[in-house]
Each structure stands twice: as C-alpha cells, then as structure tokens.
Structure 1
C-alpha cells in the first residue's frame, strides 16, 4: 500500500509501545469476546451471503496466515519510530476495535457455512481459534480493518525484498478470512471501509482535523492565516458567509444521500444502503472543509493525495473530475495568457504531453497531480474552490509562478535567451527552450486566473487591466472580493 514515511526519533518509544500493548491487548480480547458472548445468547442471529460465495473454496492451510495477524498486531507497536507515529497507530487500532464492536452489538450477524473437518497442525489451529472466536462478530470484519492499519504501518518501515514478502503475506491474510470460512464477503468490504476511515480520520500531522477555531481551515503547509483582506472586516465576513453557505449546500447533499440510504434500508437493499453512505460521508467531509477544516481534508502534499483520502472521498473526487471535463468540453483545455504562461484546467497526462509543459503550478486541492506533472518543475499551492484564498496561499501562488518562470542557473544558452527575450518568455537553461508553465485549478476559470493576476499585480501591473487581459483569453470568473484582494496585493509591490 502506498504510504509516506514519518519522522523517526533517535530512540524508539519502546516503553510507551509496551504500555499501549498492555492496554490494547486485553481491551481487544475483552471487548471482542463480550460481543461474541452477547450475540451467542440472542434467540435469532441472521446472515448475509452473496449467492456466488457458495463456490468459495475452503483452504485449511490459510489458517496460519489468518492467525498470524495477532503477532503482527503486537509487534507493530514496537515498529513505530516516534511517539507521534505510535499515538496515531495505536489510536487507529483502538478506533477500529471500538467501531467494529459497536456494529457487532447493534447489527449481529453469524457465519452460515458449515466448516469442513480439519486435522493435524491446521486442525489444532482451528480448534484454538474456535475456543475463542465463535461464528459471530461478522460485519465489519475487524480482521480486515486491523489488517489495513497494520499493512500501512509496516509498509512505512520495510524496504527491499522484505517489503514484497510483507505484501504477499498480508495479501494471504486478507484472502484467508474467506478461505478459512470465518467471514462472508460483506464482512470483508465493510471491514475495509472501516480500515480506510480509521486511516483517513486519524492521519497524524499535518492533516489532523482541528475544531473550535474560526480560521482552522488554512492549509497546513501555508499556516493558518486570515483570508486576504482580513484587515477590512467586510471582506473577511463576506468570505466567511460564502464558506458557510457552501458548507450548508454540501451538508444538504449529504442529507439527501442519507435519506436514500434509509429508503434502501427499508427496502432491505443492504448493499445499496451501505454504498449510499459512501458519497454521504465524502460530502460531509467537503462540508467540513468549507466550515473551517480547509484543504487538509484532501490530505494532499507535494502533489500526492494519501491513498485513504482518495478512497474515502472517491465519490466526490470522481464527480469533481467529471465536472471539470464537462464544463471545459467546448473550450480549450489551456490557453497562453502571457508568453510562456498558460492558464487551464486540471491536466490529464495527454494534456501535459500535448502542451509540452516544463513547469506546473497546481492550485486544485481536490485532485492528485498526475505522475507526468510530478516529473516536471512542479509546485503545489492548494486552494479550495469558489472561496477567497488565504493571503499566504495567494502570495505563495504568485511567488511560485515567478519562480517557475525564472531561468535555472548553470548552463549558457545566450542565443536562445536573446530569442526568448524578444518574445518576452524565460528560458529553461537545462534544454535551451523557452519555459512552458501551466497554472491550473479544476476548470481554469477562477483560482488559476486569480493566481496569475496576483503574480502580475506583484510585478506592478494594474489588477483591473490584468483581469481584462485574462478575460480576453478565457472566460474567467473573478469575484468582487477577489478584485479587492488583488488591489491590496498590488499595494505591496513586487515580492522579494
């Protein structure tokens, strides 16, 4: 599983890991055992089985990888390289257990297939398992939830051949929940959903959600600055009102999907009910983004979005991407607005290749960058759509554009420079060709236009003239609040 490395302290928090193990181990066995005992005492416990599951094989030998997760669980706490990583990892393990046990108690299910007889070592392991794990505690599969959390933890620390062996063994653990006749398939994908949510909602710094502050929504990489124009109360208040309005709209859309989920539940459409909760969750998180959490809900850094965020927000991300294609269907994906500077939508790999770009300034918080973009001179300055950026974001975007246009030091390409100077473009000294910089947001109508206007304003150009110049090339949308912000940026003069 793709994952980033966390900072490692000089000394591993071994004592803290041991204390967490002393707490988590008994807590798991007591809570899990209680849920099993509770369900076994109910007069009727149902099952949920897809028809095709009747053809699943029973592989007794997979009981070994199935039960090995207990060992990986215990060791994982000592693998963590810092106290912060340990707290995050232990919190995820605890959260997965709490959520799963709550579902076991509220919606008890049991495994419905008779297990074939086993013997030998495998039979002994099955007997050991049966002594503790009754055929209840089904959906969501806590085994799968913990597997995803453990997989992510180990993948941060294991390299080389060991990493491939880890992936192979953990894949076997995932398969074993079906081939040992411990779980039905609905348990597997709901368990995976719980694992993703634990990894997404407990991401660790700098993505931890923050509540209780009006300006909690600033991007982690840019600091929690006030919106541009905070010096003038009316501008800040107008932006706050707009953010809250957008938050309400996304919350209302979330409510619609929840109502559809309730309707599906009443029709006994279990799979549809659970799947409808997916876009509801994604929309709720976007509502939180506009209500103060800001760009951190997308968990994007250096162009890459954490894989739990991509899965948790997938319905919204897919809808946003389709929207970006539909709204730009009849216009050019990008246009040159200044020599060597192009304004456009979030690019596909084909867009990047056809445009021949050498640099990218990415303002779209909601889209992970294409690998082709990351191979270029890439800069990320994430901004939320439809609202005023923070002053730090707007200044950072303007400076990123200026830096991307600055010729690289090193080789001499005087002849190419002279030709480019006549056209007003800068030179990429590594190739001797004029730079081709793409500044993009989702559609190429608002955030990217505002960033280019801020860049020109810092160079001393009149903001109103810049806006009209950009509008002559593309149907940009610059709000009155953004115009006022640009006038304030222009008052600062050229950036250092």
Structure 2
C-alpha cells in the first residue's frame, strides 16, 4: 500500500499584532484597576489581614525587590512568546480572570499590611520608593503578583519544553525566587500568596476550557 506524501503545511507567523493589543488592553486594566482599588482600600476606616504569627518569622531581604519587580518586565513580554493565536487568547483570558478576580476581592474584602515596612538604602531602596509611590500597602489578598506569576511561569514553560533541561530548571528557579520575594519584601503574607497561587491555577484551568482549539471538521 502506497503512502501519500505529507503536504508541507505553512506555519502561521506569531500573532504579534494581536499580542500587542492584548498587552495594552490588559496592561491598562491592571494599572487603572489596581490603582483605583488600592486608593479605595486606603480610604476605608478598617481593612482586613491574613497576617499570622508564622509571618513574623519571615525576614526582610531588601535585595529581593529586584526579582520581585522582574515580573513587571516578564508580564508584557509573555504575550509575545505565545506561538499561536489560540495560545495567546488562552493566556490573555487567564490574565483577565486573575486581574478581575483579585480586584473584585480587593473591593469586597479590602486588606492592608499591618507591618511597619522598612525603607532600605541604596539602589534597592530607590526601587522600594518607586514601588510605594505607585501603591499604598493595601490589596494584599489574594496576591495578584503570585496569581500572575503562575500564568507567566506556565506560558514560558510551554515555550521552553523543547530546550535544554538546564534552561528549563533555570526558569523554574527564577520563578521560585520571584515567588519567595513576595514575602521577603513584606509585600504579602503567606496566606495572601497561597490564595494568589490558587486563583492563578484556577484561572488557567478555566481559560484552557474556554479557549480550546477547534478540531478540524472531517
């Protein structure tokens, strides 16, 4: 029985134009939505906290502000590494879900940081000053930082799955350091981070169900 040659199917180019639109749209959603909910929480007479005695044992490491803020660079770049339009839309829907879910929680159950936050010196201190100029110490739970990290980690993990194992482990280690920095910068407490991780995983699952690639008919 003869086998027919497989036709060379052209690979579509990465959807960079749509990636730019999603990045701008969701970036605007984050900047304006987070800023508004942060100011709204600051205006409340009383806020809640998930701070526990175990959080008092976590040290403050000023240098971890660098990996903490590294996520702000990875967040927009991730839209451009999605190889297909379906992967891009799945990632965008997941990001929209975590941002909407966190902001809804910030309004319905405003949380604040009850610790006295140190102000370090040097370059790390400048980064802390810039961060605190954008946000007051509110919007703690669930941790939007942790929720977004889950989705960014997953998107890059898919891209790096065919690369060398050392590169993949380097990526896992970098994300682990970013996750650690959420508590060692005292930006979040442990339960805040746990809630963010669960929200990120749930959003990713919902996005995969909603944005399944269509099977060809016939």
Whether TM exceeds 0.5 here: the answer is: yes
Pair 13,206 (structure 1): closer, same or farther in 2 beyond 3 Å: closer
Match of 1:112 in 2: 114
- Structure 1 residue 48 corresponds to structure 2 residue 53: no
Aligned length: 204
Match of 2:6 in 1: none
Q: 1:175 maps to what in 2? A: 180
* Equivalence for 2:80: 78
Tell me: CA distance 1:98–1:67, structure 2 relative to 1, closer, same or farther (3 Å). Answer: same
Q: Deviations over 1:3-58 (max 9, x none)?
A: xxxxx953000111011111111111000000001001111113221111111110
Query: Cα distance, 1:193 vs. partner?
Result: 1.0
Unaligned runs of 5+ in 2: 1-9
| Residue in structure 2 matched with residue 33 of structure 1 by the alignment | 35
**CA deviations over 1:246-277 (Å, ceiling 9, x no partner):** xxxxxxxxxxxxxxxxxxxxxxxxxxxxxxxx
Alpha carbons 1:9, 1:82 under 8 Å: kept: no
d(CA) in 2 for partners of 1:148, 1:136: 21
Rg larger in structure = 1
Asked if structure 2 preserves the Cα contact closer than 8 Å seen for 1:85 and 1:204, the reply is no
Assess if the C-alpha contact under 8 Å between 1:144 and 1:188 holds in 2: yes
Larger % of strand: which?
Answer: 1
- Give the C-alpha shift of residue 164 in structure 1: 1.6
Report what 1:203 is aligned to: 208
> Which of the numbers 128, 131, 142 marks the counterpart of 1:129?
131
Moved over 2 A (4+): 204-208
- Report the equivalent of 1:187: 192
Structure 1 CA distance, aligned partners of 2:209 and 2:80? Answer: 18
Instruction: Output the aligned Cα RMSD.
Output: 2.0
Pair 1:138 & 2:140 matched: yes
Query: Which protein has the bigger helix share?
Result: 2
Gaps of 5+ in 1: 1-7, 209-219, 224-496
- Contact 1:144–1:174 (CA<8 Å) still a contact in 2? yes
Taking a change above 3 Å as real, the CA distance of residues 91 and 206 of structure 1, as seen in their structure-2 partners, is closer
Q: Which has the higher contact order (CA 8 A, sep 6+)?
A: 2
C-alpha contact (below 8 Å) 2:112/2:139 kept by paired residues: yes
Q: Distance in 2 between matches of 1:191 and 1:205?
A: 21
Q: Deviations over 1:216-260 (max 9, x none)?
A: xxxx99x9xxxxxxxxxxxxxxxxxxxxxxxxxxxxxxxxxxxxx
Match of 2:3 in 1: none
Task: Give 3-state SS (helix, strand or coil) of 2:182's partner.
Answer: helix
**Cα distance in 2 between the residues matched to 1:83 and 1:206:** 10
